[in-house]
Structures are given as C-alpha cells and as structure tokens.
C-alpha cells in the first residue's frame, strides 16, 4: 500500500465511543492527542499550521497502533517574537502559560482515570513544549498514571540530525523554522489547497534563546516568516512526514 493511501484511511475516534464502551476500549489501547495552536504563519500558510501537522501525525500514529484519536487541542500558548512572530501579527489565539498548564493538567487528570496502556501527545507549537512537559510532570505520572506509558514530544524532536543534514543543509534551528522550509513543505503535502503562492524568505533568522525589547518586527521576520521558504515542496513534505512517522513508531516500540 502506498503512503498516500495509508494516510487517507479513517481512524478510530475517542469521541465516537460511548460512556459504556470507553473503559473496555482503553484497555491495552494507545490514545493519541495532538496539541496544536492557532498562530500567524506568514502570508502563505494558514493560521492552523501548528494544529494541522500534529493532527495529521496523530492520525497516522493511531492507524499504525490501532489506537484512538483524541480531539486535538487547537489553541496556542503565547506566541513569542523570536520563535513565532509573536502577537505583532493578527490571527494568533493564545492561552497564557499558567492557564495552559492548568488546562492541560485538568485534561490529563481526567484521562488518567481511563487507564489507557499508552498516551501519546504530539505537539506542533514551539512555545507549548515546556508547558506541556511541565503539565505532565506536574501530574506526578508515577502516581496518576501508574499503568500508562506516556510519550510526549514536539514533532520536530523526532527529526533525526542526519535527515536534516541531507534535506535541510542551511537549517536555521527549530525556533526559526516558523512558516519556513519544513512547515511550508509539510503543508504542501498535507493540505496543498491551503498554501498561498507568495513564499517570503528571511535571510537573518532570530537567535535562539534570546528575548529582545523593543523588537523590530521587520528585522526579525519577513512578513511573519522567520527563515527561508526556498526549496519548499510537497515532495520534501512527504519525505519529512513519513520520516517523522517512522521515528515516532521506532520510539514507541523501544
Ligand atoms: Zn508553526
């Protein structure tokens, strides 16, 4: 079966279960939760990029594990200037960090009562990562999830260095891959109808791990794009998507 056909088969949805079915369905099951965002992604990509990518990956992990898909979490932790363009551009719908941790903690606590064999959380928004990990760790999983193996990651953490070296030689760092080559390519593969024609390049990506005030938006980005989109293609997106699926499945098997 080709990758394309494998990607378009339907998945089992957690939300389709009834209350009388759910506990038995979770026994031995993998539950997959995409955590995303709604954030500006330049003039060429939709606001939903940080949701669309983990959602597509989560659906594939559900297929490969015969698991269940939880409805994705669509809203972002706050977008920051050096990793997402921040709130200098319209469209970002964000949750403050404390509220985001609280929200995730409540959801995780509710999910723990279901005792799935495995919970996989796939993040697609750069600024979510530390908050997501804090929420899981703050639940004290040894106590809250005694029978559940938890694997949480940002999708880009599953991209191997050798893959990057081969396919993205001028890699600017993941903080700056915002609306850049990798996200544009993935969207050209996953949702080509949503990608607009303009592809801004930005030659001087912001430095990782530095916060500046005042910020010069035009110096930091080109119309909200932090790095380069040159060379983006559906073919590269397809390769990246299946590379990440492979590394995720290897990680889950380990
Ligand atoms: Zn993004």
Q: Residue 73 belongs to a domain with what CATH number? A: 3.40.50.10310
The pLDDT value given to residue 86: 87
Residue 221: which of 75, 97, 40, 36 has the closest Cα? Answer: 40
**Which residues, listed in sequence order, are joined to residue 32 by a DSSP beta bridge?**
69, 120
Residue 53 C-alpha to ligand 1 middle, in angstroms?
A: 9
Question: Which structural domain range is residue 55 located in?
Answer: 3-253
Residue 179 C-alpha to ligand 1 middle, in angstroms?
A: 6
Q: Is 193 one of the catalytic residues?
A: no
pTM for the whole structure:
0.97
Q: Is 125 one of the catalytic residues?
A: yes
Tokens of 181: 């080559």
Q: How far is CA 210 from CA 74, 96, 206, 215, in A?
A: 27, 20, 8, 11
- Distance between the two ends of the chain, CA-based, in angstroms? 25
* Gap between the Cα atoms of 178 and 223, Å rounded: 11
Q: Which residues of the chain have pLDDT under 70?
A: 1-5
What is the bridge-based pairing of β-strands 94-95 and 76-77? parallel
Among 55, 129, 183, 238, which one carries the catalytic annotation? 183
The pLDDT value given to residue 60: 97
140: left (phi over 0), alpha (psi -120 to 50) or beta: left
* Gap between the Cα atoms of 78 and 82, Å rounded: 12
Q: What is the number of other CB atoms lying within 10 angstroms of the CB of residue 198?
A: 11
The pLDDT value given to residue 78: 95
Among 44, 94, 175, 178, which one carries the catalytic annotation? 178
The pLDDT value given to residue 102: 98
**How many distinct structural domains can be found in the chain?**
1
Residue 83 C-alpha to ligand 1 middle, in angstroms?
A: 9
The pLDDT value given to residue 7: 87
Residue 239 C-alpha to ligand 1 middle, in angstroms?
A: 18
What are the pLDDT digits (tens) for 20-32?
999 999 999 999 9
Residue 20 C-alpha to ligand 1 middle, in angstroms?
A: 38
């Amino acid at each position: 079966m080709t990758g394309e056909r494998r990607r378009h088969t339907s998945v089992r949805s957690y939300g389709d279960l009834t209350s009388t079915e759910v506990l038995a369905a979770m026994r031995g099951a993998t539950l997959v939760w995409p955590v995303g965002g709604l954030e500006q992604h330049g003039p060429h990509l939709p606001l939903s990029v940080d949701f669309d990518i983990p959602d597509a990956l989560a659906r594939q992990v559900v297929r490969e594990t015969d698991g269940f898909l939880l409805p994705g979490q669509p809203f972002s932790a706050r977008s920051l200037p050096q990793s997402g363009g921040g709130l200098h551009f319209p469209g970002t719908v964000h949750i403050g960090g404390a509220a985001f941790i609280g929200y995730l903690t409540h959801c995780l606590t509710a999910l723990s009562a279901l005792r799935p064999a495995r919970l996989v959380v796939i993040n697609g928004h750069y600024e979510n990562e530390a908050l997501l990990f804090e929420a899981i760790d703050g639940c004290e999983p040894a106590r809250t999830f005694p029978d559940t193996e938890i694997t949480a990651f940002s999708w880009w953490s599953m991209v191997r260095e050798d893959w990057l070296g081969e396919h993205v030689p001028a890699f600017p760092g993941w903080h700056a891959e915002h609306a850049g080559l990798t996200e544009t390519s993935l969207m050209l593969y996953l949702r080509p109808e949503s990608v607009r024609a303009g592809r801004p390049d930005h030659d001087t990506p912001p430095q990782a791990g530095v916060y500046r005030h005042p910020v010069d938006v035009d110096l930091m980005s080109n119309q909200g794009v932090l790095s380069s989109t040159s060379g983006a293609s559906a073919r590269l997106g397809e390769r990246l998507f299946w590379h990440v699926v492979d590394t995720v499945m290897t990680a889950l098997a380990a």
